[in-house]
Amino acid sequence: MTEKPNRSTGKATLVNALGLHARSAAKIAAAAKAARAGVRLKRGESEADATSVIDILTLACPAGETLEFIIEDPEDYDILKNLLDLVNNGFGETQ
Amino acid sequence: MAVKSDIQEIRISGISASPGICIGKACLVDTHGVEVLNTYYILDSDLKKEKNRFKAAVKKAKNDLRDIIKDTPKELRQQSSILESHVVLLEDKLLYDKTLETMEAELINAEWALKRVVTDLKAVFNEMEDEYFRERANDIVQVSERIWNKLIGAAPVDISEIRKRVILVANDLSPADTSQIQLEKVMGFITDRGGKASHTSIIARSLEIPAVQGLNRATSVIKNDDLIVLDGVAGLVIINPTEETLIEFEVRKELYEVQKAQIGRQSHLDATTTDGITFSVMGNIELPEEVVSVLGYGGDGIGLYRTEFQYLSRPDFPTENELYEKYKDVIDVMGDRPVTIRTLDVNGDKAMGNGKAVAEENPALGLRAIRYCLQKPDVFMTQLRAILRAAAHGKVRLLIPMISGMEEITKTKAMLQAAAAELKKEKKVYNSDIEIGIMIEVPSAVMLADSMAPEVDFFSIGTNDLIQYSLAIDRGNREVAHMFNPLHPAIIKMVKHVADVSQKTGTKLYMCGEMAADPANIPLLLGLGIDELSMNSQAIPAVKSMIRLLDTKATRKFTKKVLALNTSDEILDLCQESYGDLLEEHFSVVR
């Protein structure tokens, strides 16, 4: 895959007990939708569109997994940061 | 479809998922019953109109959901958050956009396109290993059904609005559906899909209301407000009963209630046969909390404590202390009654979804239970140590699952000794003077029972898996599920063999599979020589009552006759002949 010049990526690890379940997926999708040029989500070799809850769910990420978010437009950097915070803070879920 | 000009009584049979009899009015909660799919091609010129029809349907579905969410009281936050996630799914690219794209690419109508998209998504989710993620397909299906109903203009009854007491009739009822129902208003459940182990039957049984499932066409035959007789014991649904039928079932219902009360009142008494032999009737549990229910229903102890729950869907393996505390909780409530702790029966890595498990084509025949534990000695050691420590507080028995050969027993005992030695060195409180037993569920264990007997204190027959492995049936496979039969002559002969070995060697013989929970099987089991039965707690009272009606000498004579028969049908006939009247009189069981 050719690296686009404006691409940025960031990694975060799922710390909440249920991993990337429906509610956390919905939070990611909601945050990602605000991006100008889209956000992609990677688990290992598999990729999903981070604005689609269904696509995120097909990654079936359990707790403890490391996710990679990819944005194409540097204007979306804040959103990338939000997403990383969301994951790192366990989506605000009480354990 | 039948024309309902004159009211005719119709009877349909299904699976009896929860016992009891009720008479009442039907309330259909899902008019999208049988799949009558509207599929047609559309003209290029109609594409825009069709797309708009779809968009409008989605908008209406979204508004409906928003209204329900608004009206949902704060205490039911969990319900409303499920519905909120459904709103999100409605707009999801892979559902919404994909349907529109499909309509355009194939020039097909909205219902067809939607059906295609959902079917494809279901296939993707079905491939998933983790049950939680696999089940998310159901949310997608439910959301698509909302859209569907808006497209075809159907007006489903809103489950949360049911005000009078009714018999609910549905194609299927998901946990999301049942959570919205005011359960005090429901007299019984009728569903097209599902069976004894489904969510609906579990709810019906805990509410103690009748349910009949697996009817296939109930939703197309039954109409709203039809008068229904629901016989959960027989698995029978009668629509528009005649006067005679009504009277017959009113009487049966009364009798059933009297029997149930009677059985319940006696549940705390000993289960002693007419010739003075007392049998222990124990409970099967998965969670420590269920212990209370076992005592409530008159259980004499725990015959099977399934320890897997502690390992499900979590980021790491439970610690020794966590396990110890859970086991101790159960033992404390049970006092001096025995508690049989079965070691991990699943594949720990799969249970946790930690990604370490290798995908298996045949998980039932794969790396789980004792095989998994022996391959992962740290995980197994942790559990064994916790069990030994908990054993200091009560009467613990250790039960090893899926034993298929001698080496597994030898290795387990060696590890148990090592665990005890470690605990001794660490000066921890423990008790290694516990009974050790093995599950008899793999056919090879049946054959090796006499070699294994000297190495263990008891056998526990797990009929559910024993039947699957011996008759080579996947119970979850609809095509062959009907072949699953505890009264298969081969199964009875296998149990007999183990019973004979047990008697000869002085090894105790217990049974913890579902076969033990049915009063109709008790004469045979007592006649074969089973010492102790264990079952789901709700079944305990009836089994105890059945034992009190029997004479062990008579059951042995009966069993001898059964062993001479070669087909299940002949065996069922003999059971009916010998105990049919008893079962009908005391338990309303009519064949």
Number of domains in chain B: 3
pLDDT value of position B6: 55
Q: Is residue B539 part of a domain?
A: yes
Name the helix (H) or strand (E) containing B130.
Answer: none
In the numeric block, the tokens 């006067």 are attached to: B243
pLDDT value of position B36: 46
Predicted-complex ipTM score: 0.81
pLDDT value of position B288: 83
DSSP reduced 3-state for B239: strand
d(CA A30, CA A22): 12
Closest CA to B323 of B381, B367, B375: B381
CB B392 within 8 A of CB B429: yes
Of B124, B140, B353, the CB nearest to A62: B353
Q: Active site includes A80?
A: no
Question: Are the beta carbons of A55 and B140 separated by less than 8 Å?
Answer: no
The domain in which residue B183 lies consists of 10-31+157-262
pLDDT value of position B35: 39
Distance of CA B97 to the CA centre of its chain: 38
d(CA B471, CA B219): 34
pLDDT value of position B309: 80
- Tell me, yes or no, if A26 comes closer than 8 A to chain B by beta carbon: yes
pLDDT value of position B300: 96
d(CA B170, CA B580): 33
pLDDT value of position B160: 58
Asked if residue B272 and residue B136 are part of one domain, the reply reads: no
Measure the N-to-C terminal CA separation of chain A; round to a whole number of Å. Answer: 39
pLDDT value of position B162: 60
Six token digits for residue B431 = 């008790």
Q: Which residues of chain B have pLDDT under 70?
A: 1-6, 30-38, 78, 152-163, 175-182, 195-198, 313, 353, 355, 476, 478, 590-591
Angle, in degrees to the nearest 10, between helices B552-563 and B568-587: 150
Six token digits for residue B107 = 């020039």
Contacts (Cβ under 8 Å, ≥6 apart) of A1:
none
pLDDT value of position B341: 97
Q: Which residue of B has its CA nearest to A43?
A: B355
Choice among A14, A16, A20, A21 that is catalytic: A21
pLDDT value of position B224: 77
Domain harbouring B278, CATH code: 3.20.20.60
Any idea where the domains of chain A sit in the sequence?
8-90
Asked if residue B216 and residue B144 are part of one domain, the reply reads: no
Q: Is residue B36 part of a domain?
A: no
Question: Are the beta carbons of A62 and B313 separated by less than 8 Å?
Answer: yes
Domain harbouring B134, CATH code: 1.10.274.10
Residue numbers in A near B88 (CB within 8 A): 26, 29-30, 53
B109 CA to chain A: closest CA distance, Å?
23
Give me the CATH code for the A8-90 domain, please. 3.30.1340.10
Asked if residue B183 and residue B222 are part of one domain, the reply reads: yes
Measure the N-to-C terminal CA separation of chain B; round to a whole number of Å. Answer: 30
pLDDT value of position B34: 33
Last residue of a domain, one of B238, B262, B286: B262
